[in-house]
Chains A and B, each alone.
Chain A
Amino acid sequence: MSKSAIEVPPKSGFSFDLCRRNDMILNKSGVKPPTYRKTGTTIVGLIFEDGVILGADTRATEGPIVADKNCEKIHYMAPNIYCCGAGTAADTEAVTDMVSSQLQLHRYATGRESRVVTALTLLKSHLFRYQGHVSAALVLGGVDITGPHLHTIYPHGSTDTLPYATMGSGSLAAMAMFESKYKEGLTRDEGIKLVCDAICAGIFNDLGSGSNVDVCVITKGKKDYLRNHMLPNPRTYVSAKGFAFTKGQTEVLSTKITPLMQKLEVAEDAMEE
C-alpha cells in the first residue's frame, strides 16, 4: 500500500542487471540450473456454430518426469472467457490470474460483460513487455456481445485469430486431426468429439502430453466446464484387499534380538511422613 497521497506507477518489466553474471555462471563454470515445471501439453480450441470449444490434456512434466497427472490447464478469465495455457505452468497460472483480476476490475468500472479482445490485448501487452521471458503460450476463447472468438497468443506477444487452433508440444498431432476433420458450422456434439479426438492424438503420440481430456464449451450466456470429460488412461490400482501371503513362504535365515532398553527393577522406598 502506498503511503503517499500521489501514487507513482511501479517500474515494470525485468531488470537485466544480472544477465552478465548469470551468463558467466551458466556457460563458463559448468553449473546446471534447476529445471522448472513445464506443461508439455496439447491445447486446442475451435469455433462451432453456437460458440467456442476449448480442450486440453492434463499432464504436467518436469523434464522427463510427470509432475502432475491431472492438472487443470483451462483457466478461468471471465464468466464468458476461458484460456488454455501451455509452456511454464507457473507463468500461465500467474498471467491468467492477473489478467482475470484486471478484467474483473474493468467489468466493475464499465458495468458490461468482458470482451475477448480486451483479454487478448491485456495478455499480449504483458507478454510483450517481458520480451518472451514469461513462457506462456495461450489459446484464448470466449463468446461476447460481438460473437464467438478464438485467439492464440505466443510467448513473445504475437497473436493470431483463427477458427481452429492448437498449441503446445502436441500441437502438430492435434492440428493433423483438425486439418482433416474441421468444417464450418459444426454442432456441439461434433465439436466436442473433434476436440477430444485432437487431444487424444496429442495424448497418445506426444510424450509431453497425457492422462485425461478437459473440455470447456462456451456459448452465448452459458458455459460448460467439463473437467475430465474423457479418461482414456485409467489407473489400475493394487487390489484394496491387499495380498495374502501364507506364513512360511519367506525363509528365515537367522534371528538376532537386541533389547532397546535395559529393564530396571526399581525398589520402592517407603516414604516417611
Chain B
Amino acid sequence: VQKIQSLTTNIGVVYSGMGPDSRVLVRKSRKQAQQYYGLYKEPIPVTQLVRETAAVMQEFTQSGGVRPFGVSLLVAGYDDNGPQLYQVDPSGSYFSWKASAMGKNVSNAKTFLEKRYTDDMELDDAVHTAILTLKEGFEGQISSKNIEIGIIGTDKIFRVLTPAEVDDYLAEVE
C-alpha cells in the first residue's frame, strides 16, 4: 500500500496525517480530474485540481456533522505552466512552494531545504536532496523498504520509483 499516489498521469500527491482521510481525498480528486477532462477535453491544470481539492477540504470545516480532514497534502504536477508544487492544509488553504516539508520533523527539514535548495537543480540532484532531507529526521536505518519517492520530469509523467531505483539513489547518497 503506497503513501504516494497519482491523481492523473501528470499530477501526484503525498500526504501527512491520517491515511484513511487521504484515501477519500485522493478518490474525490481523481474523479474531479476526470470530470474536468470530460467537460473541457483538456487535462486538468495543477492549480485547478488543487483548488477543487482544497474546496472539498474547506466544505468539511463548515458543514454539520462532519469533521475536518486529518491530512495535509503535497501535490506535485507538471503542466503547461511548468513544474509546480502545492501544499493543501485541513483548513482548505493552499500554498505554492518551490520546496516544502510536512510532518513530525517539519522545522528541521525546512531549514535543511532552505540551505540546500537551488533553482537550477537537475532531477537526480533533487532526488538526492530529498533523500538527505528525509534522512535528517529518520529514526532507524533508511532503506528502499521504508521510504517512497515519486518523481515527475520533463516527460510530464508522474511515477513512483521502484525499490530497485530507490536503492540506487540511496547508494549514491551514502
**B34 pairs with A104, CB closer than 8 A:** yes
User: How many residues in B have their beta carbons less than 8 Å from beta carbons of A?
Assistant: 17
**B59 pairs with A5, CB closer than 8 A:** yes
Residue in A1, A4, A105 whose beta carbon sits within 8 Å of that of B30 in the complex: A105
Nearest B residue to A94, CB-CB: B38
User: How far is B35's CA from A201's CA once the two chains are assembled, in angstroms?
Assistant: 40
User: How many residues in A have their beta carbons less than 8 Å from beta carbons of B?
Assistant: 12
A270, chain B: closest CB distance, angstroms: 61
**B63 pairs with A5, CB closer than 8 A:** yes
User: How far is B38's CA from A104's CA once the two chains are assembled, in angstroms?
Assistant: 12
Q: Which residues does chain B contribute within 8 Å of A187, judged by CB atoms?
A: none
Residue in A3, A97, A109 whose beta carbon sits within 8 Å of that of B38 in the complex: A97
The dominant DSSP class at the A interface is helix
Taken residue by residue from 1 to 44, chain B's Cβ proximity to chain A (1 for < 8 Å, 0 otherwise) reads as 00001110000000000000000000100110010011000000
The dominant DSSP class at the B interface is helix
| Given A108-B6, A108-B30, A109-B27: A101 and B63 interface contact (C-beta under 8 Å) | no
User: How far is B6's CA from A102's CA once the two chains are assembled, in angstroms?
Assistant: 16
User: How far is B30's CA from A108's CA once the two chains are assembled, in angstroms?
Assistant: 8
B171 interface residue (CB < 8 Å to A): no
Q: Which residues does chain B contribute within 8 Å of A67, judged by CB atoms?
A: none
A98 interface residue (CB < 8 Å to B): yes
- A residues in contact (CB < 8 Å) with B: 1, 3-5, 97-98, 101-102, 104-105, 108-109
Sample of 16 A–B contacts (CB below 8 Å): A1-B55, A3-B59, A4-B63, A5-B63, A5-B64, A5-B65, A97-B38, A101-B34, A104-B34, A105-B31, A108-B5, A108-B6, A108-B7, A108-B30, A109-B27, A109-B30
- B residues in contact (CB < 8 Å) with A: 5-7, 27, 30-31, 34, 37-38, 52, 55, 59-60, 63-66
